[in-house]
Each structure stands twice: as structure tokens, then as C-alpha cells.
Amino acid sequence: MTGDKDGRAAPEGGGTYLPPSIEAVWGLRERPTKGPKPGLSQDRIVAAAVELASAEGLAAVSMGRVAKELGASTMSLYRYVSAKQELYVLMQEAATGAPPEGLVDPEAGWREGLERVARELREIYRRSPWLLRVPVSGPPSTPNGVAWWEQMLRAMAGTGLDAGEKLAVTLLVAGFVKNEALMMVELAEAVAATGAEPREAMLQYSRTLRRLVDPEAFPEVAKVIDSGVLDHADDPDDEFRFGLARILDGVAALVEGRAS
């Protein structure tokens, strides 16, 4: 490697620059062990940031706030993590963790494999909902991120889909899981803001719509309201299974088309 004008290490041959912290999690360079504050490390910084996000949400995480939690100066953190966005990536890596061993069984079929990965990812979002607020900075760039990607691709190994189609399916399934989890969190927050129980909140919503919706102007909406389906809170697990099944039905049609 050679140095660039900013003093950062750049790969020889014009390769892509990797932040030192990302190289560290891949084992491509040694982690700093000495700094302005003895005992400070990348792992400690990330752990403090994750704890802060879990307690107060991602918006509470800043380099200054994390430094305060560690009893260190803000500038001392930049020896280990160069920017807040980079810290987000490392937090995501720590909170997501590695896929469970044996998550995807090649003998069980592609559909069961994708279902199992989707359910595990959903549980991760349930445990750490602040992950849903992390801005997308690009494709997986950390070991755990790539490992989850590998599991989804491994599930589709025998489908006959080409690389581009497999990639599209991984984005489709992962996007559905994240969007469903985010919607559940936002709905829960909206219900909590009313101070009512979920069932009562749904009844209030249904009553409000009945007052506002003109059946002549919105006949289909009126039919849904009159059916009573909005009078009770749906089981989020049922909603998740239904949505995932419909997506995988579409993938199944694609797989069958390639087979024929």
C-alpha cells in the first residue's frame, strides 16, 4: 500500500480505499492499541454506541456523545473510527452478528432457506429496531454483512437462476423484511402516542374512517370498513408470513420458468 495526500493508506494498483476500521474488522490490519486514552479501542467505541442506540435510538449517537459515555475526548475516537457513517457500519456489524450455524440447509430447498434467513433477519430488527434507521451506505462491506448475503445466495444455489436474478431476489427479500419491520415499529410508535391499547386504537381508527369516508366517492374503501377487518389489530406474524409467501410465490414462478 502507498500513502495518499491525506496520509491514508491506499491500495497499490489503483484499488478502492478502505477505511482503517473496515480493514480492521476484516483482519487486514492491526487494530490500534495505543491512543490518547489508555484502554480505548474500536470494540469499546462500537459497544458504547450500540448501547446508546439501544437505549435512546440512533439519533442519540454522535462521536461526541459516544466519547462522553466513554469518558474520552471526541478527537480520541477518530484514531479508531474516522466518521459517524463509518461508526454506523461497525454498529450494524456488531448488532447483526453472524448467521446461526447451519441456517441454510441445501437439502431443504431454496424456499425454506430464504424463509429461514428472512425470519432470522426479522428477529434481529426486533431486538435492535434502531438498525432500521441506519442509512444505506452501499452493499455489504463487513464480514457479518457478507455472511448474511452468502446465506441467501446459498439458499438459491440449485435454482438455476443467474447471478443477476439471485442478486435481485436477495434485495427483494431483504427489502421486504426491513420494510415490514420498520412499518411495525412505526405503527407501534403511533399507537403508543395515542395512549390507547392496540385494539382500542384500531377501533378508534375504524370509527374515524366510517365518519369520513363517503361510500359513493370511495366504494371499495367503504366495503373494507364495513367488513369489520379494521376493527381489530392484526397479528404482525401473520402479516409477515403472508407477505413473504407472496414474494416467494413470485420467485417460485421465476424458478419454474427457468427450469422449463
Give the pLDDT confidence of 151-178 residue by residue, as tens digits. Answer: 999 999 989 999 999 999 999 999 999 9
Please calculate the CA angle 50-54-55 and round it to the nearest 5 degrees: 120
> Is there a single domain that holds both residue 36 and residue 157?
no
For residue 226, is pLDDT > 80? yes
Mean pLDDT of 129-134: 96
10 near 3, Cβ under 8 Å?
yes
Q: What's the CA gap between 236 and 198, in Å, rounded?
A: 12
Those residues with Cβ within 8 angstroms of residue 114's Cβ, 6 or more apart along the chain or in another chain = 152, 155, 156, 169, 173, 248, 251
Between 134 and 203, name the one with better pLDDT: 134
Instruction: Give pTM, 2 decimals.
Output: 0.84
Q: Do β-strands 9-10 and 2-3 pair in parallel, antiparallel, or remain unpaired?
A: antiparallel
Of 63, 96, 129, which marks where a domain is finished? 96
What is the tens place of the pLDDT at every residue in 26-67?
878 666 555 555 578 999 999 999 999 999 999 999 999 999
Q: Is residue 142 part of a domain?
A: yes
Enclosing H/E stretch for 81: none
Of 96, 126, 160, which marks where a domain is finished? 96
Q: What's the CA gap between 250 and 247, in Å, rounded?
A: 5
> Is there a single domain that holds both residue 91 and residue 73?
yes
